[in-house]
Structure 1
Amino acid sequence: MERGNSGQSVHCHYQQERGAWIAYGKSAYALQHIVRDAGLHTLDRYSTEMNMACVMVGSNTLDKVCCHAEVEKHEDYLCINYATTFSNEEYVGWVELVKSASAKKNNRWVQTVVSDIIADEQHIKDGMSAIARYLKRAADIIFSLVAIILFAPLILITYILVRAEDGGPAIYKQERVGRFGRPFHIYKFRSMRIDAERDGPQLSHGGAERDNRLTKIGKFIRAHHLDELPQLWNVLRGDMTFIGPRPERRYYIEQIMEYDKRYTLLYQIRPGVTSYATLYNGYTDTMEKMLRRLELDLYYLENRSSWLDIKILWNTFSAIVFGNKF
């Protein structure tokens, strides 16, 4: 650790040009004093919405530090310079690839991650107030519990039908990227053949319901969106919400990022079972549609509110009941 007139700096053995520095783990406690001296903020003071990003394996909530950084690139180490002021109003932009580095202070190792900061002119803040976000999460818990109980017979019947058709697993899990860029497993009723992606990730062949990899039962549950029912568990767990951008696989995120780096802005909020983009962009089976979906998701991020969520939920329900395709 080095001190200077412009703040503090930490040397990490890692290559990254710009970013924010986040330390977490019990060893991060050693850095709390430095952060306070610099007039910075700990993560829990900075944003309670980001606390869950610092829960490590074993569900142990530990001390954490978060601050903006301007980075100088060196041949064999990373020098992160901290400013002496830090704005509570700003929000750290997260990248889809989070990397690890190490910094040593007082004979204690501090695990850190370094992530890109989205440029101010590109940054889009969450349009929903803090109170509305808390109410939204409470509603997610209540309604997901009610829905699991209410739809239990339908879930059981669907499980039996999918399982009986070809003897394969009825429910499959797939890794998606969620809030804060953290991976999670999404659950769905299997609508395709077991070997549907034996050659790797693939977009739909001919559309959501015309894909030749769909099973007979799969076509029906896909058409009526019954394959999404297991995601009620994701909502209850907090991986997802009812309304939010649809979660994507890292494989496709990397492709989207080649065209539009703003995808990482979506990491501010939980992904959803249904979304504004799903209603108005339909099933995304091409890169063009993926980029269009991103634009709609960013619009939702900036303008989301409880009222907008209610409208999206109602329109989704109406589309399913009346057989409108989306």
Structure 2
Amino acid sequence: MQICVIPGDGIGSEVMAAATAVLRVLAPDLTLCEAEAGWGVFQRTGVALPAETLAAAREATAILFGAVASPSHPVPGYRSPIVELRRTLDLYANIRPTIGPGVDLVVVRENTEDLYSGRERLEDDGNTAIAERVITRTASARIVRTACELARTRQAAGRPGKITIVHKANVLRVSDGLFRTVALEVAADFPELTFEERLVDVAAMQLAAQPQRFDVIVTTNMFGDILSDIACIHGGGLGVAASSNLGHGRALFEPVHGAAPDIAGRGIANPTAALNCVVMLLEWIDRTHTAERLRRAMDAVASEGIRTPDVGGDATTREVTEAILEQIATQA
């Protein structure tokens, strides 16, 4: 079983070093191969996602992706490699869990279309920019079905089995109107679940103020991106948030924190999100006992106060990683 590790930009290499060190101890039978992608690779070679990296990702059982530092201005020939991987490998479901005091929710985000389809253009006068929003029946149906199946699994474990369908169909009547229509059609196939609708602005307000009211949220790409970042505040913030990108028999796991160029190279990046990605990966390949070992080790180290500066500690990335490895050793 092969895992493709793509460190990417900024702190990606630092947190992926922690993730691979732990993974090699917990699952020594896995084969880890490293590949490159990102803004730095583009600046050096003119390609952000080299063909060799894409080939390695296709051949792997799963992918661990560190971070990408995409520029905030148009660059001819550049496209975000993480967006490209999601679309090329059809990793259509982005799953972002948030667990905190009184909070246990999941944002299920469509991952392949919407404003991320890349259909943008500048009008001839240079004063008007236009982006096309793409919403399809097929993508909407499969993401809502994924959310329903997840809610049903969570219901069996004691959760409410409630789906919140988030849209802006009162304004985006055609695009979000289609998403809403399809979502309600799929909902009819899951009578054991409870469904509600929220406009995205209301959902954002309630998610910030009353996160405990939510169980599973399903929405489109852009809205899901924003709402999942709001949700993660209740689970410790971006520094510890992890996500999975799932397709048919494929998976990519990535921290949510981004490249963090302000601290890159200083050795203080929080490896928690990357290690949470390892937990999700292990669960995805049906090694739940091993995943639980890592989770317990991480909790023990955090309770001892061994933490990076972003969460109130003074430990380095290496020190946190080594402490977690020591905890894993004591469990053996």
Whether TM-score is above 0.5 comes out as: no
Q: TM-score, normalised by structure 1?
A: 0.22
Larger Rg: 1
Q: Which has the higher contact order (CA 8 A, sep 6+)?
A: 2
TM-score by length of structure 2 reads: 0.21
